[in-house]
Amino acid sequence: MSEQAVRLDYAYCLTEALGKGQGLELAALKALQAQADKAHASLEQQRQAGSLGFWQLPAMGQEDLAAITGEADRLRGLADNLVVLGIGGSALGATAVDMALSGVFRQSLPCKNQAMRLFVADNSDPRMFCSLLSGLDPQRTVYNVVSKSGSTAETMSQFLVVLERLERALGAEEARRRILFTTDPEKGNLRLLANREAFPVLTVPPNVGGRYSVLSAVGLLPLACAGHDVKALLDGAAAMASRCLRPGLLENPAYLFAALAVAMQRAGRNILVMMPYVSDLLGLAQWFAQLWAESLGKALSLDGRRVNLGQTPVAAVGATDQHSQLQLYMEGPQDKLVCFLTLANYGADLEIPALYPEIAALAYLGGRSMSELIQAEALATAAALASQGRPSLSLRLPQLDAQVMGQLIFLLEAATVAAGAMLEVNPLDQPGVELSKELTYGLMGRPGFAEQKKRLEQMDQGARFVA
């Protein structure tokens, strides 16, 4: 295996590390091959049927990639700031990769290599949106409206606000040069407007769902604008895609991740904590939370049985959350599986000065590096959890660059659909989010949703406040 490969360490899922009655015996681990076989057959069938569109993205043709990077170059010629107007799967992936590669403080620090500053307005919150719009120079800002459906209320409201402001400030033609759409090739309001009014537009393949779309134009356009190496991102994903085609449980990191998570869930571990020991990977943990929750939290199985399945994902950061969540993970209910993300090479380091040799509680740090400290903390936390019979996985990253991020993203996407196959639920739909959308439409007066408004009024018993 290449030294650049992301590796999955599962030692702390085994009984031999966790103690009697906890985790998996070696024989039980081997028996999970049957789960891998089930996933393998199902994913192969879905790939053949063309329903796993994300699997094809790493092998994107030169022409498609050039269309994306060409638009990114055009936008970079126009402005310094790119605001993505999108939500959920149309937003989280770009944030995850940009934060990983440019750092958690990127928006307040100067940009390198003439890259654009990227802002992702992943909400309809007017307080956030007003402060963003008023803080950016309109002459130096462009927008990417990302919506596969072209109808998401949060995104459409932002688009309408921005278009009106830009038209007023710069005129209709210039406004349209500064707003790029990313949407379905045929359907939806954004496609309609692009055809009618010549907005520039990039396409999301129809068989790529929102939360699996970061390696399409949805993520690649903003990431290219922000100066990231999108080809390396795709290359990393392609390398992981070929590992994720292997049938053997212990040769395929996606099958192993999925099989362990599913086995732990069946044993009552209903919470999956994604805990990178890298602050810049908080966005990745949040992206994963949406992927895992929306894909696997389902009322019905594929054959229509009521199952109400799902493992609640939690985003945490080490070592920060050792001082926040770890007490609960160590001593609270035995309902969690933790997935650590560790980094062999932080790409930056500081030697801790030996300033007070006479104070033992400070002296031991002197001469050691900050990377040694955080790596020790990650190892110690996993060992401490294991000592209490609490399982964890570790995804070991060699370093943090675009190639590694591509591997990581693809691995987690493949693991999610593999888990869907093992649990016999559909990881590509999200029927549970519809009702609240429809009730919102009712409240906002959208034609065709009067019934929903009435339903809400009937349910409304009035608020009850504590005195």
CB 193 within 8 A of CB 70: no
Does 209 engage in binding with ligand PA5 (CB under 6 A)?
Answer: yes
Which range in 41-49, 86-94, 113-121, 398-406 contacts ligand PA5 by CB under 6 A?
A: 86-94
Nearer of residues 145 and 259 to ligand PA5, judged by Cβ: 145
- In angstroms, the CA 423 to CA 421 distance is 5
Strand order in the sheet with 179-183: 117-120, 81-85, 141-146, 179-183, 201-203
- In angstroms, the CA 72 to CA 57 distance is 18
H/E segment holding residue 419: helix 402-423
- In angstroms, the CA 330 to CA 322 distance is 10
CB 216 within 8 A of CB 205: yes
- Least distance to ligand PA5, CB of residue 407, Å: 21
Does 210 engage in binding with ligand PA5 (CB under 6 A)?
Answer: yes
Interface with ligand PA5 (CB under 6 A), residue from 17, 24, 87, 264: 87
- Least distance to ligand PA5, CB of residue 431, Å: 11
Active site residues: 294, 323, 437
- Least distance to ligand PA5, CB of residue 246, Å: 27
Instruction: Looking at residues 338 to 367 of the shown chain, list those that interact with ligand PA5 (rule: CB under 6 A).
Output: none
Interface with ligand PA5 (CB under 6 A), residue from 71, 294, 401, 413: 294
Nearer of residues 87 and 273 to ligand PA5, judged by Cβ: 87
- Least distance to ligand PA5, CB of residue 193, Å: 14
CB 455 within 8 A of CB 435: no
Does 88 engage in binding with ligand PA5 (CB under 6 A)?
Answer: yes
Instruction: Looking at residues 124 to 163 of the shown chain, list those that interact with ligand PA5 (rule: CB under 6 A).
Output: 147-149, 152, 155
Does 430 engage in binding with ligand PA5 (CB under 6 A)?
Answer: yes
Rg (CA), the chain: 24
- Least distance to ligand PA5, CB of residue 277, Å: 27
Nearer of residues 286 and 322 to ligand PA5, judged by Cβ: 286
What six digits make up the tokens of 65? 């990639």
Which range in 165-173, 205-213, 334-342, 409-417 contacts ligand PA5 by CB under 6 A?
A: 205-213
- Least distance to ligand PA5, CB of residue 210, Å: 2
Nearer of residues 76 and 298 to ligand PA5, judged by Cβ: 298
Which range in 55-63, 87-95, 253-261, 343-351 contacts ligand PA5 by CB under 6 A?
A: 87-95
Instruction: Looking at residues 12 to 51 of the shown chain, list those that interact with ligand PA5 (rule: CB under 6 A).
Output: none
Nearer of residues 147 and 403 to ligand PA5, judged by Cβ: 147
Which residues 6+ apart lie within 8 Å of 310 measured at CB? 270, 293, 296, 297, 298
Beta strands in 51-112 (DSSP E): 81-85
CA dist 150 to 170, 186, 226, 396, 448, Å? 24, 11, 24, 38, 18
- Least distance to ligand PA5, CB of residue 184, Å: 8
Query: Which one-letter DSSP state was computed for residue 181?
Result: E
Tabulate helix, strand, coil % of the chain (nearest 5): 55, 15, 30
Nearer of residues 155 and 381 to ligand PA5, judged by Cβ: 155
Nearer of residues 98 and 413 to ligand PA5, judged by Cβ: 413
- In angstroms, the CA 119 to CA 262 distance is 35
What six digits make up the tokens of 241? 């895609």
Which residues 6+ apart lie within 8 Å of 211 measured at CB? 88, 89, 92, 93, 290, 291, 294, 295
Interface with ligand PA5 (CB under 6 A), residue from 76, 106, 178, 211: 211
Which range in 8-16, 69-77, 133-141, 204-212 contacts ligand PA5 by CB under 6 A?
A: 204-212
Beta strands in 117-262 (DSSP E): 117-120, 141-146, 179-183, 201-203
Nearer of residues 152 and 381 to ligand PA5, judged by Cβ: 152
In the block, tokens 């992702």 appear at 120
Interface with ligand PA5 (CB under 6 A), residue from 23, 53, 58, 89: 89
Does 102 engage in binding with ligand PA5 (CB under 6 A)?
Answer: no
- Least distance to ligand PA5, CB of residue 242, Å: 25
Question: Cβ-closest residue to ligand PA5?
Answer: 210
Neighbours of 45 (CB within 10 A): 12
**Residues at the site binding ligand PA5, with contacts judged by CB under 6 A:** 87-90, 147-149, 152, 155, 209-211, 294, 430
